[in-house]
Amino acid sequence: MHCLVVKAHPLAESLCASLTTHVVEALERAGHAVQVEDLYARGFTPALTIEERRSYFDDYERQLVNAEIERLLAAEAIVLLFPTWWFGFPAILKGWFDRVWAPGVAYDHADDYGPITPRLHRLRHMLVVTSLGSPWWVDKLVLWQPVKRVLKTAIVRTCAPNCRLKVLSLYKSERLTTDQVSRFKKRIDEALRHWPNPN
């Protein structure tokens, strides 16, 4: 499959960077074609420009993000790797959704801005790999997994209805042992094993 790996962390020595390397190697070993979208390394700007916002629902002005859009449209599978900050996306990743998953790209609006029609029919799989400083029960029992709910209901189901979403969350990420990280990497490997193998 054509796999797009999207990393959203500013530090090269971060856990997110290490997990990104692990994901890319696992996908390449399985024979998938991999493109890496390292948002910080590319200097991706998360804020919509004035022109983008003015044209958002009418012939979107996509020139500044055309390369990112083409990589999204080519993807049959996406892996998102990011830290959960304040129980949401890092700003740079939220901006990637705002600017790249735009009308005419990821979906079409009805003429009256009512219900939308999905466009990402090629996208079949999405794996989310995220870390949180909080314990699992705060995310799941207190806040009801806001990142997963937004991705599943508002983004993936709306824009890519044929896509299967899986979220892997690593909790208490500031106090992890080497064994805990190794076990988490095995969970990533297990999730990727269920993706169609081109070999």
**CB-based contacts of 87: which residues, under 8 Å, 6+ apart?**
132, 134, 139, 143, 146, 147
Considering only 32-46, 133-147, 183-197, which range has the smallest mean pLDDT?
A: 133-147
Q: What pLDDT shows up at residue 114?
A: 79
- Mean pLDDT confidence for 79-92: 96
Q: Which amino acid is at 160?
A: A
Per cent of the chain over pLDDT 70 is 98
pLDDT band at 198 (very low <50, low <70, confident <90, very high): low
Helices (H), 55-139: 66-74, 91-100, 136-137
Q: What pLDDT shows up at residue 133?
A: 84
Whether pLDDT at 85 is above 90: yes
Q: Which residues of 170-190 are buried (b: 16+ CB within 10 A; e: fewer)?
A: bbebeebeeeebeebbeebee
Segment 20-51, tens digit of pLDDT = 999 999 999 999 999 999 999 999 999 999 99
Contact 23, 78 (CB under 8 A): no
Whether pLDDT at 197 is above 70: no
